[in-house]
Amino acid sequence: MKILVCISKTPDTTAKIAFTDNNTKFAEAGVQWIINPYDEWYSLVRAIELKEKDPSTIINLVTVGGADAEPIIRKALALGGDEAIRINAEPLESYQVASLIAEIARNGNYDLVLTGKETIDYNGGAVGGLLAEVLDLPYIANATNLQVNGSTATVKREIEGGEETIECPFPLVLSCQKGMAEARIPNMRGIMAARTKPLKVVDPSPVQTLTKFSEFQLPPAKQGVKLVSPDNVDELVRLLHEEARAI
């Protein structure tokens, strides 16, 4: 089996969020970058588990980004990817990213393309579906379990009020969420091996972007806490009704 895992670079969850250029761009200065957790913990680790069961499995990684994305893709290689491809373009929006990855996926004849269900920065969750559409492949979103049975995938995902099981032949595109696999950390052997694993840089094909960000806004600052005496139930009810509008 040949698997392509899509890797994206996202700010660490502890990063301080700010915007520049009249609130039209994310301020990257001083931000620590990590692998998007949905890509790392679920998509990549599940691919590694499949390779452990079948050593003939090949895991390729792909990311869209500049040279500053290479430490992120190297970490993914340290976890267990075989080789990586960096598409040398700034990721601008979901359709552009999906189109660029689709060209790599099409040329590589992959059986399975894995993405995280979303990135933790913009929370768009659109790349997997767009990628499947561009490739004209079946797409299963928000998977929590994947089993491979010859040329067929058995996939489980949560739905409202229960769980859905789907069988689908390869090739297909799958987005992964919590439950797909357990998080891992690179060991020293993997870190050393990642230094010499192939990381290919390719130039992007021209892609027309369909959307753009016009403005970002931070959420309103948290208001101060109001303390109410346990004996003053009437005041608590008034605040919940008039200010919090919870009742």
Q: pLDDT digit string (tens) for 17-42?
A: 888 888 988 888 888 999 999 999 99
pLDDT digits (tens, 9 = 90+) for 40-85: 999 999 999 999 999 999 999 999 999 999 999 999 999 999 999 9
pLDDT of 245 over the 90 cut: no
61-65, 106-110, 176-180, 185-189: least confidently modelled range: 185-189
Question: Which of 5-9, 118-122, 127-131 is predicted least confidently?
Answer: 118-122
Task: Kindly report the pTM of this predicted structure.
Answer: 0.86
Inform me whether the pLDDT recorded for 223 exceeds 80: no
Q: What is the pLDDT of residue 51?
A: 95
Name the more confident of 196 and 62: 62
Determine how many CB atoms are found less than 10 A away from the CB of residue 139.
18
pLDDT score, position 184: 84
Q: CA–CA separation, 93 vs 8, rounded Å? A: 12
> 73-128, pLDDT tens digit by residue?
999 999 999 999 999 999 999 999 999 999 999 999 999 999 999 999 888 899 99
Q: In the chain, at which residue ranges do the beta strands (DSSP E only) sit? A: 2-6, 9-11, 19-20, 25-26, 33-35, 58-64, 83-87, 112-116, 139-149, 152-159, 162-169, 172-176, 199-202
Q: How far is CA 30 from the centre of its chain?
A: 22
Domain ranges in the chain are 2-221
Please check the confidence at residue 212 and state whether its pLDDT lies above 90.
no
pLDDT category at 226 given cuts 50, 70, 90 is confident
pLDDT reading at 9 higher than 90:
yes
CATH class, range 2-221: alpha beta
- The counts of H helices and E strands in the chain are 7, 13
pLDDT at 54: 95
- On average, the pLDDT of the chain sits at 92
Closest CA to 85 of 11, 7, 193, 10: 7
Check: CB of residue 112 under 8 Å from CB of residue 170.
yes
Which pLDDT band holds residue 13 (cuts at 50, 70, 90)?
Answer: confident
C-beta of residue 2 within 8 angstroms of C-beta of residue 60: yes
